[in-house]
Each structure stands twice: as structure tokens, then as C-alpha cells.
Structure 1
Amino acid sequence: MFRLRKLVKMKLIAASYWRQSWSVLLLLLSVQLSAFTEPLASKSAAVITPEVEKPTQQAAVTWRLYRKSEQFEMSYRDTKTDGRPVLEIKAQFVFKGRMSAFLQVLRDTEHAGQWLDSTHSVKIIASPSPFEDWVHTIFDTPWPLQQRDMVTCSTWKQHIDYSIEMIVIACDDKWPVATNTVRIKQINARWLLQSLPDHLVHVTYIGAADAGGGLPRWLSDRVVIASSLRSFRALQQQLSQPDYQQIVAEVCEPEMSTASQALPADVNTTSCQRLKSGAK
């Protein structure tokens, strides 16, 4: 009987630990990232597969579907970065609005907690150019886990087809590590934004990161997947908010013709002229 009571007590402790850990840490999304394959490509969520560079250093591994709806899809797979096993997340979704909204939301760090799950604070350390941001993010991490943070450097560019690509990597040297804090490293991610008819934008994200601190994979993977799902769905809603539809000066906003061809909304803007000339 004593052994039975002890076993029940241990299970209750484990269950309590899991509930505290459920909303934890990182979310590979960070606050500025991406890599792209198989975008949903249309309102009906049909899938196309452009040939693109993979974000990790391992040959392609089959993606495991986690959630799917008409305008949202999220998958995951195991991969390796610098020889270490990590979890890789892929999310694809559609929102109604301007492509500029993506940059507006990411730069609104004051309200990052409205969509980025389990964040304590997000701070833009520096913006070396209109196309670069250095960001420090601290995550809310429940006991008994140590607090986690990460420093990311993001760069973005707009291609001649009006799509926007953002690359995010870890840059630990841009901000010191605080005492009793575990730094999330080996961050490798991309975003791709593509304009669709009817003022819709298709977003694709692929990213991986190492949570660090010796977390067991069975715990960290389940937490990251659940946290990422909440964040991507919240981001999908946030991007459509009217407050974020102001055009970013460096973005050439396209309009789709009846033949689904992307045309610049205003060819006289500096950003559209720069894009047409092939200069960044």
C-alpha cells in the first residue's frame, strides 16, 4: 500500500510539472525568421513546391502534419544542426492585408505578447539598416526550468516577383547573457511572403532552434510544437488588423491583376523603382 501511495504521488508531481511547463519557452518563430517550401499558394490552399534552399544541414526528412485547415497548415520533423538533433517547424497560412503588415507586426515589440506565446519581453537592440534588426527576446519559463532568452539578427529583401524573404540567425555577441539564464542558440529560420489575389498574402515559415539547458527531447518537442501552433494562429489574426496595414517605405506593395499577375501598386514610389532597377 505504501508503494502504491508513493507511485500515485509521483504521478501527481509529474502531471503538475507538465502543466507548469505547457506554456513554456521558445517557439521557433522567435520574432523575426523563415525558410520556404510548398506554399499553400491560393485561397483554396492548393500546394505548390518551388525549389528552394533547405534551412538545415541535413537531407530532407518527411514532414509530419500537425494541424491543417483551409488557410493554415503546420508540420514538424526531426533534423540536425551542427550534428545536434533539433526539432524543425514548418507553418503556412494566409491572411488578408498588406505584406507590409508582416514587418509592422514584428517591429511592434510592445505588443509582441499578443501573438508570440510565452514571451516575457521583446526588444529591438539595433537596426543597422531598414532591412536589418537585432532583437533580444526573453521567454517566460516556469519552475523548475531556467529562464531562457535569445538574440536574433534578421535581414529581409524583396524579390523581383514582389515576394519578401526574411532570414533569421542567432547572434549571441550582440547582447550579454544574464545570470541564471540559458541562451537559445543555433537558430536557423526563414519567412517567405507571397501576394495573392483579393488582397491576400501567403506566409511560409520554416525554422529550427536548440532550446539548450539539457531539456529532454520528449518534453521540449511537445512544448515547442504546442507553443508554435498558438503563436502562428495568433500571428495570422494579428497580421490582418487595421493598425498594421500602413505601407513600409522599403516595401513595394503589389496589386494582383485579374490574370493573377502581380503589379506594383504605385510604380512611382522609391521602393518600386528600386525593385524594378534590380537594386536593393
Structure 2
Amino acid sequence: MPNEYATLPTPGALFFLLLCTCGPALLFGQVSDGFVLQSTDDGVSVSVREESNGDMSVRVSTEARAQVQGVGAVLDHAKGYSEWVHRCDGAYIVAGGQPDDYVFVSGIDMPFPFQDKEIVARVTQVVDSSGVLTRTITGSPHAIPATKGRDRPTVYNGEWIVRPLPDGRVHLQVTVRTDAGAGLPNWLRKEIMTGGPVKTVLNLRHRLEAA
């Protein structure tokens, strides 16, 4: 994969990657905004919602010992995605953006014989007066020329919300809607669509807390 665009002024921000305050834990299987809770394990909650045309939305949330600014710095460091984003085999920021408005590219390593994938999406982000970071991710598959040998999903939209908590922790929530699982066998679709986001958020939490 190409190197991250080095001349962007201190990029602060995925994939995505997504956070808002949740109330008391949902009972397993309870529906909220159309999302059905699938699991709560190791402090990570996962909910899914089937969409039209075979798309799926996944929502993952957890808490971590970190500051909002530190979370934003990790999310903005695209070159480091391969170290914590599940199946990422390289990522970079496309030239010409701004710290809070840019396009990123992230590769997804797929098992043989399936074709590797590539996410191209625009990130816009803002921190409000209460210190909440909101990152909006909009799929932009035509922002750069196609990469030979890579399948580029046409749907990839999401939101990260990082909310500071009073005890020096943050609440993280990521919601992603994508068609990346279309056409895959059920076992691989589940691994990509739900297992992957869980591993990614766990890896992010461990990375933040080890800093």
C-alpha cells in the first residue's frame, strides 16, 4: 500500500470506524433503533441491523482508559491501522485533505480464494463544546482510481463517537453500514461483518490503555 500522506498538517484522525453515551446495558436480543444486541463480552457490546440490498449495520461500543484527544490521534494515524484494525494490510491518507476533512484508503486482506478488498472513504470530524468527538465516515469509492486486484465496496458509511467520562475514561461507539459482506459465504460474512469490528475495537482499547 502507498505511504500515508506525510504533508498533511498533523492529522488528528478509520476506518469507521463512532461513539455515544448508552444507557443501562440492553437485555440480550433487545431491539434499539432497529439494532439487535448480539453479544456483550469483555466489556464490548455488539448489535446488528440487517439493511436493504444485503447491507448490514454493526454497532460496537466499549469504554477505555484514555483521553478523547488520544483516541483521535490513533484514529487519524492511518499508517498504524494494520497494527490494530482487523484484516487491514495497509492504509494511507490521500493527498489534498485537511486535518478534519480528508479521504483515507484501507486495504482488507481476504482469505484465499476471495479477492482482497479496499475501503475508500471520507472522514469529517468535530469536537463539540462538551468535548465529544464525532467522526463521520462516508464511502467515496470513486475518489481515487481503482486498485488492480482489489474489490472496492460501494457502501461504507459510519460514525465514531468518543465521549469523555468523569473518571478519566472515554466511551467509544462505532456504527458502520457496509456491503462488504455481499456475496460471501455465511461464515466469512459473519467474520468480516461482526467478528472483525469486535476485534478492531478490542485492539483499539488495548492500544489506548497501553499508551
TM-based fold match above 0.5: yes
The match for 1:228 is 197
The 5 A counterparts of 1:15-164 are 30-34=14-18, 36=20, 39=22, 46-47=24-25, 60-69=33-42, 72-80=43-51, 83-126=52-95, 128-164=97-133
* Change beyond 3 A, Cα 1:189–1:173: same
**Structural RMSD (CA):** 2.3
Q: Which runs of 4+ in 1 moved over 3 A?
A: 216-219
TM-score relative to the length of structure 2: 0.81
Aligned residue identity for 2:39: Y
CA distance, structure 2, for counterparts of residue 121 and residue 177 of structure 1: 16
Q: CA deviation at 1:33?
A: 3.1
Aligned residue identity for 1:78: R
Give SS of 1:165's match: strand
> Which protein is bigger by CA-based radius of gyration?
1
CA distance, structure 2, for counterparts of residue 195 and residue 146 of structure 1: 39
Offset from partner CA, 1:205-245 (integer Å, 9 cap, x none) = 11111116622445312443222221110101112343xxx
* Larger relative contact order, structure 1 or 2 (CA cutoff 8 Å, min sep 6): 2
Query: Is 1:209 paired with 2:178?
Result: yes
Q: CA deviation at 1:62?
A: 4.1
Residue 16 of structure 2 contacts residue 175 of structure 2 at CA under 8 Å; is this kept in 1?
Answer: no
The match for 1:265 is none
More helix per residue: 1 or 2?
Answer: 1
* Change beyond 3 A, Cα 1:127–1:115: farther
Offset from partner CA, 1:48-99 (integer Å, 9 cap, x none) = 9xxxxxxxxxx93241222334xx222232322xx31222211111111211
Aligned residue identity for 2:203: A
Give SS of 2:64's match: strand
The 5 A counterparts of 1:161-240 are 161-211=130-180, 214-217=183-186, 219-240=188-209
Aligned residue identity for 2:165: L
CA distance, structure 2, for counterparts of residue 35 and residue 199 of structure 1: 16
TM-score relative to the length of structure 1: 0.62
Give SS of 1:117's match: coil
Q: CA deviation at 1:135?
A: 0.5
Structure 2 stretches lacking a partner, 5+ long = 1-13, 27-31
CA distance, structure 1, for counterparts of residue 162 and residue 141 of structure 2: 27
Structure 1 stretches lacking a partner, 5+ long = 1-29, 41-45, 49-58, 243-280
* Change beyond 3 A, Cα 1:136–1:62: closer
Number of paired residues? 193
